[in-house]
Amino acid sequence: MLVLGWSVTAAAQTITEYPLPTANGFVLARTAGPNGTPIFGVLATASAAIPDLPAIDRVFVRFTDANGVLRGETSVAIRTQ
What pLDDT, in 10s, does the model give residues 56-75? 998 888 888 778 888 888 89
Q: Which residues are paired to 7 by β-bridges?
A: 16, 41
Q: What is the dihedral of CA 77, 39, 17, 79, to 10 degrees?
A: 10
SS3 for 43? strand
Interatomic CA distance for residues 17 and 6, integer angstroms: 5
Q: What is the pLDDT along the chain (81 residues), one digit of tens a residue?
A: 555 666 666 555 666 666 666 776 777 777 777 776 777 777 777 888 999 999 999 888 888 877 888 888 889 898 988
Determine contact, residues 5/18, Cβ cutoff 8 Å.
Answer: yes
The predicted structure's pLDDT at residue 13: 60
The predicted structure's pLDDT at residue 61: 83
Pairing of strands 25-26, 13-17: unpaired
The predicted structure's pLDDT at residue 56: 93
